[in-house]
Chain A
Amino acid sequence: MAFLHVVSTGKTAAKSGLKSRSLTPYLLLAPGLIWLITFFIIPIFSLGSTSTMVRPEGAQIGVYVQELRFANYVDAFLANQDQYIRSFIYAALATLLALLIAYPLAYAIAFKSGKYRNILLVLVIAPFFTSFLLRTIAWTQILADSGPVVTAIKVLPFVDDLFRINNTSTAVVIGLAYNFLPFMTLPLYASLERIDPRTLEAAGDLYANGLTTFRKVTLPLSMPGLVAGTLLTFIPAAGDYVNAAILGNPSTKMIGNVIESRFFAVVDYPTAAALSFTLMATILILVTIYIRRSGTDELV
């Protein structure tokens, strides 16, 4: 009897719930979908359309008409290729620097921190409690010509008295690496923490010394975190303009700075839009190649 009862109520529930049930997924999707359409899909199309516009002869500043001029892309790239290439070099260097700092840090938190693990994790994300801009400005103080870092380095015998870090490419890379460090550390920590320490013991048991264990077991097993971390650092770093603006000089301008000034200072919307699109496409291609090459597409 109990079974029959269940079956019959199941049936009625299915009947009456048919309409609402088929709507539920759409209702759940709606807020996100509306958000994405309004603030991502429409702007993308609008940006795409802007990128091929042309300013008519004698028109006012900021007035453009659509002429499907795809040569805008070539012009924009040729005029700014230095900044463009520089962006990717800086982003790559910053990613490397962040990786070198974050990997030992994440490793220590995952395997060696014991009861301090949670405190250390909070410290990793603690910088987020202060504004991005403020933290970057703080670095101008740390790296100032009379600041502690420069003074300490100047003690070294072979260092020139004119040595400085502020307003150099070094400062920009340091700033980028610093600002995106938590994005590198957290995914690395997450994948290192998942490694069973007994797997590492097993490697030692099977004649692998510490270095070999790291190369053959720890590193491959942390690849998903490493790939995620480098992407989360490289992508925003390549498009960043705050660090170059605050910590750099005119010859360290990145593509983000060009886009920013094209949009807001020069009011050259088509060039800014074309550069944005080129940047987006390049990052997309690089990321695809990177994920393919690292062989982690099934792991991520």
Chain B
Amino acid sequence: MANHKVSQDTGDLKLDRVSKHYGDFCAVDDLSLIVPDGSFFALLGPSGCGKTTTLRMIAGLEEPTAGTISIGDTDITTQKSYRRNVNTVFQNYALFPHLTIFENVAFGLRRRGIKDVKAEVESALNLVEMGHLAERKPNQLSGGQQQRIAVARAIVNRPEVLLLDEPLGALDLKLRRQMQIELKRIQTEVGITFIHVTHDQEEAMTMADTIAVMNQGKIEQMGSATDLYEAPKTAFVANFLGQCNLIKGKITSRAGDKATVTAKGLTFEVPLARVATSNDSVFLGVRPEKLRLDDTGVNSIKNCVVTDRSFVGTSTQYLVRAPWDLELVVFEQNDEGLHDLRVGDTVSLEWDPEHTFALDGAGDINAGADLDDEE
């Protein structure tokens, strides 16, 4: 596989103010994006957010209504799909049912007039550990095996960019986990830019160096999994990635490096660097695992009542009702400090200011919640 390791240094993929309209419907809205050469990039969003349309425009299967797409210095906006050095792993794999696995993988090489394909096809098949199935037909393979062949068929061409359209959507959970690790390994090995479209936030976080969270044709936020999770910039991102507690409040002072937020007569502190808005009306956010069932911290809510409790192995998840109309989710790690509370118990909650973030309070507080299981 030594020859695959040499990345072709063809440059970054750039989308510059790209839009796609279908009649009155705007699928992708003025989207700009730079994907660094050789990175594993994820486009994450709920169904209908425009992520697949974006991918299809990069693949050349759709033409943008406006804007340009380029790789390095080459503008590929109107280039036909068969002329682009971009390959796709399709959602349902789209293997050629009439060809053997070997011929499926050799398809792209043969179309480019390469006569001696044996060595390259075999090394691609070995990369996905499917070398022994070369003479089978696609319908004799399991879903997971077909998935690997689809990856091999694309990667054998050593494209500048490899697009993956929900490639693991049809696999069961265990196989999906396994393939996530596999894909990450393959990407590291071949060094090609991977753009992975998914609605599964866990999948995106496991694999990608950079994640762009898309919503209604726009990018809400872009960054590493940690950035997006620990410091979301919008309510949509906070709710879509993992679970989040958001409390509606008002910034009463910005002093030094911290801001003070009041909500329902309580005051909370948040580092100014973690305030994502210049508005005073904010949603104060904290992740469930950052909440402690204690009352000694700077940010705390007293007199809460446990309304639900579920044991999930590594942690116990509580639903806790604040003294006003707000339910908070709390994950408590199952270690020696376990509280073992019952429904109806009165508790206090507290968390550290550095785990707090403040988002613009103008939008919908529930944006992005419960969207990820739609597909």
B108 at the interface (CB under 8 A from A): yes
Number of residues on chain A facing chain B (CB within 8 A): 18
Which of A196, A204, A216 has the largest count of B CB atoms less than 10 A from its CB? A204
State in angstroms the CA–CA spacing of A216 and B82 once bound together.
14
B126-172 contacts to A (CB < 8 Å): 153-154, 157
A206: chain B residues at CB < 8 Å are 82, 87, 107-108, 111, 153-154, 157
Q: Which of A196, A201, A203, A220 sits near B107, CB closer than 8 Å?
A: A203
Task: Fill in one digit per residue for B59-88: 1 if any A CB lies within 8 Å of its CB, else 0.
Answer: 111000000000000000000111100111
A172-211 contacts to B (CB < 8 Å): 196, 198-199, 201-209
B157: chain A residues at CB < 8 Å are 206-207
A245: chain B residues at CB < 8 Å are none
A214–chain B nearest beta-carbon distance, Å: 13
> Is B108 within 8 A of A198, CB to CB?
no
A223: chain B residues at CB < 8 Å are 98
> Is B81 within 8 A of A196, CB to CB?
no
> Is A208 within 8 A of B88, CB to CB?
no
B106–chain A nearest beta-carbon distance, Å: 10
B333 at the interface (CB under 8 A from A): no
> Is B96 within 8 A of A198, CB to CB?
no
Q: In which size bucket is the chain B interface?
A: 20 to 34
> Is A221 within 8 A of B82, CB to CB?
no
> Is A196 within 8 A of B92, CB to CB?
yes
B99–chain A nearest beta-carbon distance, Å: 8
B94 at the interface (CB under 8 A from A): yes
State in angstroms the CA–CA spacing of A207 and B86 once bound together.
9
> Is A201 within 8 A of B61, CB to CB?
yes
> Is B96 within 8 A of A205, CB to CB?
no
> Is A205 within 8 A of B88, CB to CB?
yes
> Is A205 within 8 A of B61, CB to CB?
yes
State in angstroms the CA–CA spacing of A3 and B68 once bound together.
68
A212 at the interface (CB under 8 A from B): yes
> Is A198 within 8 A of B82, CB to CB?
no
A212: chain B residues at CB < 8 Å are 111
> Is A202 within 8 A of B90, CB to CB?
yes
A217 at the interface (CB under 8 A from B): yes
State in angstroms the CA–CA spacing of A244 and B112 once bound together.
50
A218–chain B nearest beta-carbon distance, Å: 10
B103–chain A nearest beta-carbon distance, Å: 10
B88: chain A residues at CB < 8 Å are 201-202, 205
Q: Return the chain B residue nearest A194 by Cβ.
A: B97
> Is A198 within 8 A of B81, CB to CB?
no
Task: Fill in one digit per residue for A221-241: 1 if any B CB lies within 8 Å of its CB, else 0.
Answer: 101000000000000000000
State in angstroms the CA–CA spacing of A279 and B98 once bound together.
34
Interface of A is mostly: helix
B158–chain A nearest beta-carbon distance, Å: 12
B355–chain A nearest beta-carbon distance, Å: 44
A256–chain B nearest beta-carbon distance, Å: 37
Q: Return the chain B residue nearest A220 by Cβ.
A: B98
State in angstroms the CA–CA spacing of A150 and B98 once bound together.
45
B94: chain A residues at CB < 8 Å are 196, 198-199, 201-202
State in angstroms the CA–CA spacing of A223 and B97 once bound together.
13
Q: Return the chain B residue nearest A221 by Cβ.
A: B98
Q: Return the chain A residue nearest B92 by Cβ.
A: A198
> Is B82 within 8 A of A199, CB to CB?
no
A295–chain B nearest beta-carbon distance, Å: 10
- Given contacts A206-B157, A207-B82, whether A201 and B90 have CB atoms under 8 Å apart is yes
A221: chain B residues at CB < 8 Å are 96-98
> Is B81 within 8 A of A205, CB to CB?
yes
Q: Return the chain B residue nearest A213 by Cβ.
A: B82
> Is A199 within 8 A of B81, CB to CB?
no
Which of A196, A204, A207 has the largest count of B CB atoms less than 10 A from its CB? A207
B164–chain A nearest beta-carbon distance, Å: 12
> Is B111 within 8 A of A202, CB to CB?
no
> Is A209 within 8 A of B80, CB to CB?
yes
State in angstroms the CA–CA spacing of A227 and B309 once bound together.
64
B82: chain A residues at CB < 8 Å are 204-209
State in angstroms the CA–CA spacing of A199 and B61 once bound together.
13
> Is B108 within 8 A of A204, CB to CB?
no
- Given contacts A205-B82, A221-B97, whether A198 and B90 have CB atoms under 8 Å apart is yes
State in angstroms the CA–CA spacing of A220 and B61 once bound together.
23
> Is B96 within 8 A of A199, CB to CB?
yes
State in angstroms the CA–CA spacing of A217 and B97 once bound together.
9
- Given contacts A198-B90, A198-B92, A202-B88, whether A207 and B97 have CB atoms under 8 Å apart is no
> Is A204 within 8 A of B92, CB to CB?
no
State in angstroms the CA–CA spacing of A201 and B153 once bound together.
14
> Is B111 within 8 A of A207, CB to CB?
yes
- In the complex, 24 of the A-B residue pairs with CB atoms within 8 angstroms, ordered by the A residue number, are A196-B92, A198-B91, A198-B94, A199-B94, A199-B95, A199-B97, A201-B61, A201-B90, A202-B90, A202-B94, A202-B96, A203-B96, A204-B82, A205-B59, A205-B154, A206-B107, A206-B108, A206-B154, A206-B157, A207-B83, A207-B111, A207-B112, A208-B111, A221-B96
Please name 9 further chain A to chain B contacts, defined as beta carbons within 8 Å, in addition to the given A205-B61, A221-B97, A223-B98, sorted by A numbering: A201-B94, A202-B88, A206-B87, A206-B108, A206-B157, A207-B83, A207-B111, A208-B111, A220-B98
